[in-house]
């Protein structure tokens, strides 16, 4: 890889590099799963983890009572 510039590059100056790929080097993305179907897996995983947490992960409800004794004068 090599290159050249038309003028001196100073500190903090920007540099743009152009890259040429052969034809059909990059593939076109498949947009078929752009509907609502892709949400099924994360929502399903959330529901499963929520049910597991609800059954085994909740702590008992604790009532904390603070006691205050005023200083004796």
Residue stretches of the chain with pLDDT short of 70: 1, 33
The string of pLDDT tens digits covering residues 45-60 is 999 999 999 999 877 7
> DSSP of 6-45, one letter per residue?
SSPPPTT----------TT-SPPP--TT-SSGGGHHHHHH
Q: Show me where the domains of the chain are located.
A: 34-58
């Amino acid at each position: 890889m090599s290159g050249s510039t038309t003028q001196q590059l100073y500190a903090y100056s920007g540099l743009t590099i152009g890259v040429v790929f052969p034809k059909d080097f990059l593939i076109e993305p498949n947009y078929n799963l752009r509907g609502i179907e892709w949400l099924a897996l994360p929502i399903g995983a959330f529901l499963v983890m929520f049910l597991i947490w609800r059954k085994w992960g909740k702590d008992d409800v604790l009532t904390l009572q603070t006691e205050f004794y005023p200083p004796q004068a």
